[in-house]
Structure 1
Amino acid sequence: MIDLGPLAWMVHVAAAFAIAFFAQSVFSPKGREARVVIRAMIPVVILTLLGAGWLPHPVAGMLIGYFGSRAFGPWGSARGGLLAAVIAAVVLMQLGASWLLFPLFFMGLGWLASGGPARGRRRAPKVQAEVAELPAQATGTPLPVAAPSAAEGPLAPFLADARLPAQARAQLVALNLRTQEALSLLKDQGLEGTEGFFVARAIREEYAPEAVQAYLKLPRSLADTGVIQDGKTGAALLSEQLELLLDGVQDIIAGSLQSGGQALLTHGRFLRERFAKAEQDLRVPVMIPAADKVK
């Protein structure tokens, strides 16, 4: 530790800002990148050496949350950030947060038990399968993935647009499927006049296309690299908005399930009441022979 004398209090104030900077960096969309994690760790190390010996402990707690949010999912795109986070954990343990070893050890065991490295490969096959389903649904015949223009709906023209990031196109594939599913479910349940139906149609026909068109108006050379707001690029903002729309459609589908399930439960109660009563009414009485009565 370096003794700064009367200026030591400034180190602790700066340490508080370092915590905020670390959280904002690693939990942002760019937190998947190794350079972002390393950059967030630099002020933590410097301020700890200058006298803020308490700083590694809250940062270590946030690092546990980082591992939980990035590793327990399709972590392939965050591989660099996770490797940098492992190095950061070793550094934090050397700076005083030695307790970090135990939660990371058990978290690693849980990660391996829940799929481990296979998690990094699960999302891609699923997305490819959904893309392949789109032309098959539209034509009735399986076609190559390279012909998504055969898909129906207002989102179809964007599914093969090379100007869009791969993640955004995968999200649009999912939106195309989910919104169609939601609209069909609500129509079959006779709920075409409900708010959920109008929202699902608006997501399909207005909100998602407008988000994509706004992204396509950005300069091509800066759309994926230029920061627009809160450290987010145009590609990151588009992905964030499409994810919100996917969550909204999923909520509508879940509500449709509850509505249909309630109707099924009501019908089941009716059947139980109806046929339980009929069983009593239709029960054949046992006739006792007259000879047996005399006895």
Structure 2
Amino acid sequence: MGLRDWWRRRRGGPDDAVTSSPHPPTEQDVLASLNRVNAMLTEGNAPPVVTARVVRIARTIADTLPRIRNLGLGSQEGYSVVATATTYLPEAVGAYLRLPRDWADTRPIDGYKTSLMVLVEQLELLAATMDKILDAANRADAQALIAHGMFLDAKFGSASDGGPDLQLGTP
């Protein structure tokens, strides 16, 4: 019996190693994960510089979620949004918050960078990536609008030339 089996038994899980695979995260799962990160920030008394960046990322993810369908649920962009909300963001924030605040904010750990500086860089990267994905999703919607306009123009003529001469209500 391995450590994993022992731990599973202690927690009341199934004895066999074969378990059903978890379902893909839903929009509600993603939003719940963002809410948990927000609670971590509040409970951990995170500095405003961290909270502001996390709020920005969470807002962008929430704005992107309804548009992921246009990018394709199995797309790299869709995966990145879900993984950021459910894994990347919680892990980065959690690792920082587990450190003693004074130590994390004043002691260099990576050259001259403190844990706070490292976290802010990570959050900036996540924010820039989520912004790019939201832009891509919006461009997909805009392209659909353009394509529909081209269809309408081909079907009914352009609005600039008055469109088709429809004689509604006359025999």
Matched residue, 1:182? 64
**Pair 1:257 & 2:138 matched:** yes
Deviations 1:217-245 (A, max 9, x none): 32333110000112110111111101110
Deviation at 1:163, TM superposition (A): 3.2
Matched residue, 1:211? 92
> Which residue among 98, 112, 135 is the counterpart of 1:231?
112
Compare relative contact order (CA 8 Å, sep 6+) and give the higher one, 1 or 2. 2
Asked if the contact 2:58–2:85 (Cα under 8 Å) also holds between the matched residues in 1, the reply is yes
**Pair 1:171 & 2:53 matched:** yes
Superposition RMSD in Å: 2.6
> Which residue among 279, 282, 285 is the counterpart of 2:164?
279
Asked if the contact 1:154–1:205 (Cα under 8 Å) also holds between the matched residues in 2, the reply is no
Asked if the contact 1:227–1:234 (Cα under 8 Å) also holds between the matched residues in 2, the reply is yes
Partner Cα distance (2:131, 2:105) in 1: 27
TM-score, length-normalised on structure 1?
0.41
Deviation at 1:162, TM superposition (A): 4.3
Deviation at 1:151, TM superposition (A): 10
Deviation at 1:272, TM superposition (A): 0.4
Asked if the contact 1:155–1:176 (Cα under 8 Å) also holds between the matched residues in 2, the reply is no
- Rg (Cα) greater in structure: 1
Partner Cα distance (2:93, 2:133) in 1: 22
Partner Cα distance (1:212, 1:169) in 2: 10
Partner Cα distance (1:196, 1:233) in 2: 31
Extract unaligned runs of 5+ from structure 1: 1-149, 284-295
TM-score, length-normalised on structure 2?
0.69
Q: Report runs of 4+ in structure 1 exceeding 6 Å deviation.
A: none
Partner Cα distance (1:208, 1:257) in 2: 23
Extract unaligned runs of 5+ from structure 2: 1-31
Secondary structure (helix, strand or coil) at the match of 1:167 reads helix
Matched residue, 2:73? 192
Alignment length (residue pairs)? 133
Percent identity of paired positions between Structure 1 and Structure 2: 32
Secondary structure (helix, strand or coil) at the match of 2:101 reads coil
Within 5 Å, give how 1:70-219 maps onto structure 2: 153-187=35-69, 189=70, 191-219=72-100
Deviation at 1:257, TM superposition (A): 1.3
Partner Cα distance (1:152, 1:237) in 2: 21
**Pair 1:243 & 2:124 matched:** yes
Secondary structure (helix, strand or coil) at the match of 1:153 reads helix
Deviations 1:190-236 (A, max 9, x none): 73222111100111111011001111232333110000112110111
Q: Residue type matched to 1:183 in 2?
A: L
The structure-2 alpha-carbon separation of the partners of 1:246 and 1:213, relative to structure 1 and needing over 3 Å to count, comes to same
